Each structure stands twice: as structure tokens, then as C-alpha cells.
């Protein structure tokens, strides 16, 4: 049996509305094929994401060269989707980060290809056989659809095909929907285009459209998540939750719901103006309630998330947005600098935080292994960089011991956890062995394990257990728990409020 293919990264309602268009009847979009699945999975890889503008990585193999998709032509997959009139494929590629105005070796963009192809559908070099007439008519409508999508995404409307502006092409085929849309989005109407219209009425229509859009501003760009909202009111305004049925961004190839979300390792997405695409970010706090700090029980946060979704859906309101990421990172940075100035956070640790932008936190393997390894290597590379700079007189081992992290985000170089024992892993041939039960606590000898058991047994395999922390990590947790100390009570109260609102709890 072939492997199950993932679902397209598009909202279900949006997909249904596209597929309900008459021109989509009987058309099978490439998004449901294996190539698209592979592309989707390859783009969702935190450590090495595939470039979204990769050359034609899916679509029909046989006639690519005929359609102008040679290696030299430098056309992207979005060019192919536009030329095919594959609306869903174009939308998903844009969602995955494809450049709307990617130019091929002749400077042609997906929009210019779609509009030019509309023209060849209308005026074929050789007449279409009668049997093909219906197919051509349907293709024409799909191309018009894809053009509309691209224009609404603020594709360049001044682009030319064979030196002819696309508005002129729209006039030459007298497609009023496209003409109006292009004018609305700022395409330049020239007087000579009037010659494409035979009747006085058509010329008057063109003149009237031209004057009605002459000084109007371009309609707002729609968000690339296809929520239907303008970008400035969606991912452009605030971070949004990553959809649970999408492939997880960590690179595990599983759905987010079954991967990082289940481990309370949340993904939020935000518009990146520099990259011009929606970018995922990992956070250990629930997107809807991240203001409550990092030490709230993740299970409660999951419940809160679901409640927030239900309440906002019932009330027809948008989800409360997370506080600005900039603000959070500024506060965290100031706190770490303060702790470092008091000797509570190691300077190498602070340096790595500046490079990476998030604090590693051991959480008893509650991470995707893929993500954990990736974070470990990035963090430790930053520590190496710090050592390389040579401003710290301490021996390398001391710095590594103070700042490097292990796979599960705790200390890389650990101490024996036996009562009063100060043996360090790797020093003087010391080897540490794990507690056989939890496989998290480490000891240098059976004696040390026995001595620790009275205190360890309460913690062993409990929810509060985590891998041995670096002193910097432990001090950060201590500092933040004094700030967030009352968060659990706050959470309980919120859960009660939510239950009251949704009728799960009777009003007393």
C-alpha cells in the first residue's frame, strides 16, 4: 500500500470553496499527488527546509519541456501551477512561501504566464478540435481564477509578456473581469488599448472603468494563509497558531497535532516582512495564553487552548493574539543580562541566548527528538563561537561545562546526583549511570544512587522531573518562578471562567 499522503496546507473551507467553482469540476489538482506531499514535507523541515521556490518540483512530467519548463528557463513550481490553472497548487505554494513574482530567465512571472495562456486559449494558432473545446473553455476559466489569486496577492500588474503589458492582453481578449481587476490593482491603461474594442459601448465601458479606478489605492493584500483576511489584519498583525492538521514544522513528517503540539511544544506563525513569507516559530507556551509565563502546567494550557477556540468560535471573535514577540524577547533579554551581572547566568550562556533567541529548558524528553537535536547543535555551536572569540580566560572545559547543553536541553556535562557527591562526568575517568527507572537522574556509583534514593524516589518518573540543568538554567527558573508564582491559580480561575461561558459548569 502506498504511504498515506498529507493534506494540503490550506484551510478546509477555503479548499472546498475553490473546488466548488464550476471550472474545477473534474479537475484534479496536483496538491493531492505524491510530488506535492513530498514538497510539503520537505518545506516543513526546521533544520533544512526546502527552498519554496524550487524549480518545478511537481506537476505533469511528460510535457514540461514543451511548456517551457527546462532547467535553463529557471521557472518555479508556482510558474507551473499558474500555467496549468491549478488554483489549489498555486495557493498552497504561496502558503509554503513561494515568491509570487518569481521571474524566469525571460523575466516572466507566474501571472504573466497565466494571462498569456488565457490569450492562447482564446486565439489558438491552430483551431481546437470540437471535442477539446470544452476543456479549453474550462482551462481558460481556471487561468482567470489563478490570475485573480495572484493579483490579489499583489503580483506585479505592470508585467509584460513578449513586450505586451498584461492589461493590453486582457483588452485584446476582452475579458472584463480581468480588465477591471488589473485597473483596480493599478495597471496603467493606455489610450491605444481602445482599439481592441469594436463597439462604442465597449470603449465607453473601458473609459468609465479607467476613470473610476484612476486615483483609487490598491486593495489590501490578502494573507497568504488564505484566511480571507487582509495580511495586515492576520499574520501581518500578530502571531497566529500553526494549524494542527498541518505537517509539523520540526521536520518529523508527522502532523503537528500528533507531534510537537501533543508535547506542548507550540508553533506560532508570523509574517516576516524581510523574507516576504509566513514563518513558523517554536514556543513552549500556548499561543493563546503565552502572557501567563512559562511554568504553567502544559495540560491545563491545552484545555485552555481548546476552550479559547470554542469560545471564540461561538462568539464569532478572533482568538486573542499573543503579546508581541519583540516585547517578550526584550523582557527576557533584560532579565538575562541582569542575572548575568549578578553572576547567576554564565556569560557563554548569555552569548548563546543572544544568537539563538530562546532559552533551552530540559523537560524530561517532552520534545520531538529531531527538534531537540537541532536545537542542541545550534546552541552548542554558539558556545563554540564564544570560546573561539577568546575573550574568556577560563579553560574550554569550564566554559563548556557552564554553557553547553545535552540532547534533551539540560547540562551536557553533568555531575553525579548522589547526596554530597561532586564528581563530574568525564573528569578523572568518571562515568555516570542513569537511574534504571526514570533514566534521567545520573550517578557515579551504586553507593551514590542509594544515598540519593530517599529524596529521588518522590521525583523519579514524576511530572516535575527533568534532566539535570546547567546552573544558569536553574537560576533562570528560580527567577521566573518568583515572577510567575501565582500563575497556576490564575489558570484555574480562567478554566473555570471558560467552563462557565461554554455551559460546562452550572452557574452557582
Chain residues that interact with Zn ion, rule: CB under 5 A:
223, 225, 227, 234-235, 248, 250, 252, 259-260, 368, 416, 418, 421, 423, 435, 437-438, 441, 444, 448, 460
Min CB(235)–Zn ion separation in Å? 4
Q: What is the DSSP letter of 225?
A: T
CB of 127 to Zn ion, least distance (A): 44
Which is closer to Zn ion, CB of 77 or CB of 423?
A: 423
**Quick one: DSSP state of residue 320?**
P
In the chain, what is the straight-line distance between the N-terminal and C-terminal CA atoms, in Å? Answer: 56
Q: For the CA atoms of the chain, what is the radius of gyration?
A: 29
Smaller CB separation from Zn ion, 59 or 236: 236
Nearest to 372 by CA among 407, 321, 328, 414: 407
Of 384, 386, 377, nearest in space to 340 by CA = 386
Longest Cα separation, the chain: 100
Nearer CB in complex with Zn ion: 21/434: 434
Instruction: Give Cα 488 to chain centroid, integer Å.
Output: 30
- Alpha carbon dihedral 153, 159, 164, 167, in 10-degree steps, equals 40
Smallest distance from the beta carbon of 42 to Zn ion, in angstroms?
15
CA distance 202 to 211: 14
d(CA 113, CA 126): 20
**Measured from the CB of residue 97, what is the shortest distance to Zn ion in angstroms?**
13
Best CA proximity match to 470, nearest among 420, 424, 421: 424
Q: Which is nearer to Zn ion, 104 or 269 (CB)?
A: 269
CB of 153 to Zn ion, least distance (A): 12
Shortest distance, position 443 Cβ to Zn ion, whole Å: 6
Q: In 3-state terms, what secondary structure has residue 465? A: coil
Q: Which three cell numbers stand for residue 412?
A: 551536557
- As measured in angstroms, the least distance from the Cβ of 2 to Zn ion is 23
For the beta carbon of residue 291, count every other beta carbon within 10 angstroms: 12
Q: Nearest CA to 79 among 122, 118, 109, 34?
A: 109
Q: How far is the CB of 253 from Zn ion (least distance, A)?
A: 9
In 213-324, alpha helices (H):
298-315
Q: Which residues make Cβ contacts (< 8 Å) with residue 37, sequence separation at least 6?
A: 5, 6
Q: 245 vs 492, which CB is nearer to Zn ion? A: 245
Q: Between residues 44 and 115, which has the closer beta carbon with respect to Zn ion?
A: 44
Beta carbon of residue 237, minimum distance to Zn ion (angstroms, whole number): 9
* C-alpha cell recorded at residue 12: 478546509
Nearest CB to Zn ion, comparing residues 115 and 444: 444
Q: Check residue 217 and report its DSSP letter.
A: P
- Sort 127 into a burial class: Cβ within 10 Å, 0-12 / 13-18 / 19+: exposed
Nearer to Zn ion, 23 or 278 (CB): 278
- Taking alpha carbons only, the member of 436, 422, 425 closest to residue 400 is 425
From CA 287, how far away is CA 379, in angstroms rounded?
A: 24
CA distance 456 to 479: 24
Closer Cβ to Zn ion, 455 or 493, answer by number: 455
The H-or-E segment that residue 267 falls in is strand 266-272
Rounded CA separation 188/418 (Å): 78
Q: How far is the CB of 425 from Zn ion (least distance, A)?
A: 10
Nearer to Zn ion, 296 or 442 (CB): 442
The three three-digit cell numbers of residue 312, written as one number:
471564540
**Residue 434, strand partner residues:** 442
Kindly state the smallest distance separating residue 256's Cβ from Zn ion, in Å. Answer: 6
Which residue lies nearer to Zn ion by CB, 159 or 259?
259
> How many Å apart are CA 336 and CA 347, to the nearest integer?
10
Do you know the residue count of the chain?
508
Q: Of the two residues 174 and 465, which places its CB atom closer to Zn ion in the complex?
A: 465
Instruction: Please state the closest distance from residue 54 (CB atom) to Zn ion, in A.
Output: 22
Q: Considering the complex, what minimum distance in angstroms separates the CB of residue 423 from Zn ion?
A: 5
Residue with Cβ nearer Zn ion (209 or 364): 364
Amino acid at each position: 500500500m502506498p504511504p498515506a499522503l498529507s493534506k494540503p496546507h490550506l484551510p478546509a473551507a477555503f479548499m472546498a470553496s475553490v473546488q466548488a467553482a464550476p471550472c474545477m469540476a473534474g479537475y484534479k489538482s496536483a496538491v493531492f499527488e505524491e510530488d506535492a506531499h513530498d514538497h510539503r514535507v520537505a518545506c516543513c523541515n526546521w533544520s533544512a527546509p526546502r527552498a519554496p521556490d524550487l524549480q518545478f518540483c511537481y506537476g505533469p512530467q511528460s510535457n514540461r519541456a514543451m511548456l517551457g519548463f527546462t532547467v535553463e528557463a529557471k521557472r518555479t513550481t508556482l510558474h507551473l501551477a499558474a500555467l496549468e490553472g491549478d488554483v489549489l497548487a498555486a495557493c498552497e505554494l504561496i502558503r509554503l512561501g513561494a515568491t509570487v513574482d518569481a521571474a524566469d530567465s525571460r523575466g516572466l512571472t507566474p501571472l504573466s504566464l497565466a494571462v498569456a495562456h488565457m490569450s492562447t486559449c482564446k486565439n489558438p494558432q491552430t483551431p481546437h478540435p470540437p471535442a477539446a473545446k470544452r476543456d479549453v473553455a474550462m482551462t481558460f476559466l481556471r487561468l482567470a481564477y489563478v490570475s485573480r489569486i495572484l493579483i490579489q496577492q499583489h503580483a506585479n500588474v505592470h508585467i509584460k509578456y513578449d513586450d505586451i503589458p498584461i492589461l493590453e492582453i486582457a483588452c485584446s481578449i476582452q475579458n472584463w473581469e480581468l480588465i477591471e481587476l488589473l485597473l483596480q490593482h493599478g495597471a496603467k491603461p493606455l489610450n491605444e488599448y481602445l482599439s481592441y474594442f469594436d463597439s462604442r459601448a465597449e470603449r465607453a465601458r473601458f473609459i468609465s472603468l479607467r476613470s473610476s479606478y484612476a486615483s483609487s489605492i490598491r486593495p489590501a493584500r490578502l494573507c497568504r494563509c488564505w484566511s480571507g483576511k487582509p495580511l495586515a489584519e492576520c499574520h501581518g498583525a500578530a502571531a497566529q497558531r500553526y494549524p494542527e492538521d498541518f505537517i509539523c514544522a520540526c521536520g518529523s513528517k508527522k502532523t503537528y497535532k500528533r507531534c510537537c503540539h501533543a508535547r506542548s511544544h507550540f508553533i506560532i506563525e508570523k509574517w516576516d516582512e524581510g523574507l516576504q513569507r509566513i514563518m513558523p516559530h517554536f514556543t513552549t507556551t500556548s499561543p493563546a495564553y503565552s502572557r501567563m509565563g512559562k511554568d504553567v502546567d502544559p495540560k491545563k494550557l491545552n484545555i485552555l487552548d481548546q476552550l479559547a477556540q470554542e469560545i471564540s468560535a461561538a462568539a464569532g471573535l478572533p482568538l486573542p493574539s499573543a503579546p508581541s514577540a519583540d516585547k517578550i524577547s526584550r523582557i527576557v533579554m533584560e532579565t538575562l543580562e541582569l542575572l548575568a551581572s549578578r553572576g547567576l547566568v554564565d556569560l557563554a550562556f548569555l552569548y548563546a541566548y543572544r544568537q539563538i533567541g530562546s532559552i533551552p529548558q530540559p523537560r524530561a524528553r517532552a520534545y520531538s527528538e529531531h527538534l531537540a537535536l537541532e536545537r542542541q547543535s545550534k546552541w552548542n555551536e554558539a558556545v563554540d563561537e564564544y570560546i573561539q572569540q577568546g575573550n574568556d580566560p577560563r579553560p574550554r572545559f569550564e566554559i563548556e561545562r557552564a554553557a553547553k547543553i545535552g540532547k534533551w536541553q539540560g547540562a551536557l556535562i553533568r555531575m553525579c546526583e548522589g547526596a554530597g557527591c561532586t564528581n563530574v562526568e568525564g573528569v578523572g575517568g568518571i562515568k555516570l549511570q542513569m537511574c534504571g527507572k526514570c533514566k534521567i537522574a545520573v550517578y557515579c556509583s551504586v553507593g551514590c544512587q542509594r544515598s540519593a534514593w530517599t529524596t529521588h524516589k518522590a521525583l523519579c518518573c514524576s511530572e516535575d522531573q527533568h534532566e539535570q540543568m546547567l546552573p544558569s538554567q536553574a537560576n533562570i527558573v528560580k527567577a521566573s518562578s518568583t515572577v510567575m508564582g501565582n500563575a497556576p491559580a490564575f489558570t484555574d480561575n480562567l478554566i473555570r471562567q471558560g467552563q462557565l461561558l461554554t455551559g460546562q459548569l452550572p452557574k452557582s
